[in-house]
Amino acid sequence: MFELKNKTAIITGGGSGIGQAIARVFAKQGAESIIFDLDEEAGQSTAATIISEGGKAIFKKCDVANQSEVQRIAKEITRNTGTLDILVNNAGVAHIGNAENTKEADFDRLININVKGMYNCLHEVIPYMKEKGGCILNMASVAASVGIPDRFAYSLTKGAVVAMTLSVAKDFIGYQIRCNCISPGRVHTPFVDGFIAKNYPGKEQEMFEKLSKTQPIGRMANPEEIAYLALYLCSEEAAFITGCDYPIDGGFITLNN
Q: What is the pLDDT of residues 107-117, one digit of tens each?
A: 999 999 999 99
CB burial string 100-113: b at 16+ within 10 A, e below? eebeeebbeebbbb
The answer to whether residue 213 is domain-embedded is no
Backbone angles phi, psi at 37, to 5 degrees: -165, 150
**What's the pLDDT band for 257 if we cut at 50, 70, 90?**
low
Q: What is the pLDDT of residues 49-70, one digit of tens each?
A: 999 999 999 999 999 999 999 9
The answer to whether residue 74 is domain-embedded is yes
The answer to whether residue 117 is domain-embedded is yes
Parent domain of 39: 8-185+221-251
Q: What is the pLDDT of residues 72-107, one digit of tens each?
A: 999 999 998 888 999 999 999 999 999 999 999 999
Q: What is the mean pLDDT of the chain?
A: 96
CB burial string 145-168: b at 16+ within 10 A, e below? bbebeebbbbbbbbbbbbebbbeb
Torsion sign over Cα 240, 119, 140, 165: negative
Per cent of the chain over pLDDT 70 is 100
- Amino acid letter, 155: S
| Catalytic-labelled residue, pool 128, 154, 175, 200 | 154
**What's the pLDDT band for 20 if we cut at 50, 70, 90?**
very high
Looking at the 3D structure of the chain, how many domains does it have? Answer: 1
Res. 218: pLDDT tops 80: yes
**Cα–Cα dist 56/28, whole Å:** 9
Indicate if 119 belongs to the active site. no
CATH of the domain at 69: 3.40.50.720
